Structure 1
């Protein structure tokens, strides 16, 4: 009986966000095949008293010198990204560790309403694209929205249990279903606190046991094999009526990315796409 209870507990996914917006983490789910998601990025920072950098957010490599993540992952100190990783503790030959040259949070990011929770990280050097480090193609603006009921996945190195403060050593993922915005904004769900806008996606499993959470913030939401959203916000305890909220990569954000990077993002070639 204890074994069954333990199994059920570790399968729960909790969505959690710290008051200072230092990210969200996956609890439970399953470990992915090593290096099967070569676009995944671990964003890390120096922690006082610790010998190594600490993972606190996720992201996706969209160009050799640019990572897309959440605006609430912005840090006052220096940060770096780790590419080509499966295990964060092992010295994998596939890993590339690059410093972040500049952080570009969306100028209209609102911590209270969760709106415009998107940020670009400009890397100090270009990543070397290979079998373990590849680009994730941005969506096309004409089909940016995601229909309710769509099956999606989200991956990250976030914590595996609600009581843990340490990230998962290996990359894990969960499966989610998109929920329509009207339902998500209803009194039985978020009751418009915050308001789920047309630039956001609501997603969870049907029983409220699986979702993204602290440490997974900024990671990509993949729907029908397409990059559609960014892990943004969710409640501390798992519940079917408090789904995770994701920033939808809509046309307005594609235009903003184009302005910052200086290229037409949604007509990029698929070179380097996983």
Structure 2
């Protein structure tokens, strides 16, 4: 039995932590209002002489995007800001090459621990009504109560298993860590720590998946988490796992960027 559990766990890690198929993202949900989430970044990796959407992220400074560490790309990377449709050459879009990727030094692909990464852009993003910064948490270690409603947005797969060209969003609810670690849920495989958030819809019909990795989890208009880990298909007993942006990570971000990120000027989310 232990051998079977270990095999299933390793298989899940391979499926979820390695975003090999760029088109898998929001399952269910609905199309977002165009340009209603101006902080969203499409992270695109060039593997076949063409940039393709790979992960999501959030613009937190003019030269910095925050995403998940397992979204690290071995080839050239660019981010697209100000987009609603990725196939259309929208005038609102800004395409900027990534100068350097900074995955958290303690991240290990075998677990979702420390699944957070900074992308340094080669030039500054120009903020306007289509492109805005997303504030990092100012309340630092304040936890999120179970049952709170959150949203995640991303480009990609829908219920019909076909990629979406336009930005979609899904509504989720926070699940307490004790429940998420219980035998009926993840059974500590992986261990849901205080640096993670569990969230799903209440019927197991909608969720995030691989290609949505790195996208921001917004709870009560606050940036609280990063899409990290979850099953290939929505499952009420296998909720999505999100990196919780705690003081530990804020301190690391400050060290990399060189500014006190949680004292940034307020920007409207919408």
Pairing partner for 1:253 from 229, 249, 255: 249
TM-score by length of 1: 0.89
Q: Which runs of 5+ in 1 are unaligned?
A: 1-15
Matches within 5 A, 1:115-126: 115-126=113-124
Distance 1:264 1:212 in 2: 30
Pairing partner for 1:147 from 145, 155, 166: 145
Which residue number corresponds to residue 65 of structure 1?
63
Q: Structure 1 residues 19, 252: CA separation in 2 closer, same or farther (over 3 Å shift)?
A: closer
Which residue number corresponds to residue 73 of structure 2?
75
Pairing partner for 2:164 from 168, 176, 179: 168
Q: Structure 1 residues 18, 206: CA separation in 2 closer, same or farther (over 3 Å shift)?
A: closer
Q: CA deviation at 1:27?
A: 1.7
Contact residue 17 and residue 213 of structure 1 kept, 8 A: no
Q: CA deviation at 1:268?
A: 1.2
Number of residues paired by the alignment? Answer: 255
TM-score by length of 2: 0.90
Q: Which has the higher strand share?
A: 2
Indicate the RMSD between aligned Cα atoms, in angstroms.
1.7
Distance 1:177 1:18 in 2: 20
Q: Which runs of 5+ in 2 are unaligned?
A: 1-13
User: Which aligned segments of 4 or more residues in structure 1 are displaced greater than 6 angstroms?
Assistant: none
Contact residue 207 and residue 240 of structure 1 kept, 8 A: yes
Q: CA deviation at 1:45?
A: 1.3
Which residue number corresponds to residue 158 of structure 1?
156
Distance 1:236 1:156 in 2: 16
Pairing partner for 1:225 from 221, 228, 236: 221
SS at match of 1:169: strand
Which residue number corresponds to residue 209 of structure 1?
205
